[in-house]
Structure 1
Amino acid sequence: MPEDFCSMDGQKRQIRAASSLRQNLFREHRKMCCVSMGGENKRSTTDYKAKKRQKVNKTTKSKSPPTVSSDTSLVHSDCPEITHGEVIVDRKSIFQGHAAEVHSIDDVNAVLTKLKMNKKICNAKHNMYAYRIERKTGKGKSSILQDCDNDGEAHAGGRMLHLMQILDQKNTLVVVTRWYGGIQLGPDRFRHINNATRQAIEQAGLLKK
């Protein structure tokens, strides 16, 4: 037996013990990393959900489309006369135009408020409108004050205003009421809105010749 056999055997035991210690340390380190990564992932998921909730809240707080004022004090005694056009019916949806001669924003507000006092009109799906008012600026010159509102019917108010520009309407307000029948009409709805606009202007005697 070699003299250094015992010392060699002891060295092997020390090497195995050191190797076992390293493996244990590696396993413990891996567990700690997994726990740490799990915590980080959990925090990341929580932060993402919180940011998502904030984004949803911001979207929910977005401005709603403007509506006709409910302030009845705007309806003064000299509220312009309102002419109600003929009814247009298509696939259970009903369209009706209302026209009035207006010379100021107060006139516009008075007409809009008076129309809203009618429960049937107030409860309609959409009450889109457009107006054009001529204002004298002196020295024989004038300017046009104009605006429109879709009231939830995309592009409807702009199309009404465009038609009034083509007709060169001045001092005119038109409101088109739509009672939705549950069936989408597609582009046909704009044809009905334009027809209701023109009919109301004509029946009110405001159509330029």
Structure 2
Amino acid sequence: MRILEGIISDRGSKYAVSGAPCADEATARTLLSALKRQKKFARATHNSWAYLGADGPVKNDDGEAGAGMVIVRMLEREGLRDHLVVVTRWFGGKHLGGDRFRHVQDAVRIYLEERGRDGGD
């Protein structure tokens, strides 16, 4: 799994983005479980994720209401199927309001750009 840490910081909240090829929901949950074996990711406030599979999108907000759908929309726009993307947030004590959606978008954009530079999976 590719992990990009420390990509966004705002009012104490910190973000990371991760991703990997993913065939189905069971694989997504296995990949997420592997990510959370790293203590810092297990203790994160939110690990929101999504992927587009053969049966359509699968997402989980992990308490960050709407974040999974933001990821789904970006994957759809990119045409990236069978690939899990996880946006991790460590809450910094101040509410971000609507800025949190912009940060989720920015995190996914950073991941997609990095993936493109490295030639894909």
* TM-score for both structures, normalised by structure 2: 0.87
Gaps of 5+ in 2: none
Q: Is the 8 A contact 2:14 2:89 kept in 1?
A: yes
Please give the per-residue CA displacement for 1:171-197, whole angstroms capped at 9, x wherever unaligned.
111001000000111111111111111
Report percent identity of matched pairs. Answer: 36
Please give the per-residue CA displacement for 1:129-160, whole angstroms capped at 9, x wherever unaligned.
01112x4xxxxxxxx43211111111111111
Within-5 A mapping of 1:44-123: 82-86=1-5, 87-123=7-43
Higher helix proportion? 1
SS at match of 1:184: coil
1:149 to 2:60 alignment: yes
| Segment drifting more, 102-111 vs 198-207 | 198-207
1:163 to 2:74 alignment: yes
- Alpha-carbon spacing, 1:123–1:110, altered in 2? closer, same or farther (3 Å): same
Relative contact order: is structure 1 or structure 2 higher (C-alpha 8 Å, sep ≥ 6)?
Answer: 2
* TM-score for both structures, normalised by structure 1: 0.52
- In 1, Cα distance between the equivalents of 2:26 and 2:88? 21
Question: Aligned letter for 2:4?
Answer: G
- In 2, Cα distance between the equivalents of 1:129 and 1:176? 6
Which one has a bigger Cα radius of gyration? 1
Gaps of 5+ in 1: 1-81, 136-143
Higher strand proportion? 2
Report what 2:44 is aligned to: 124
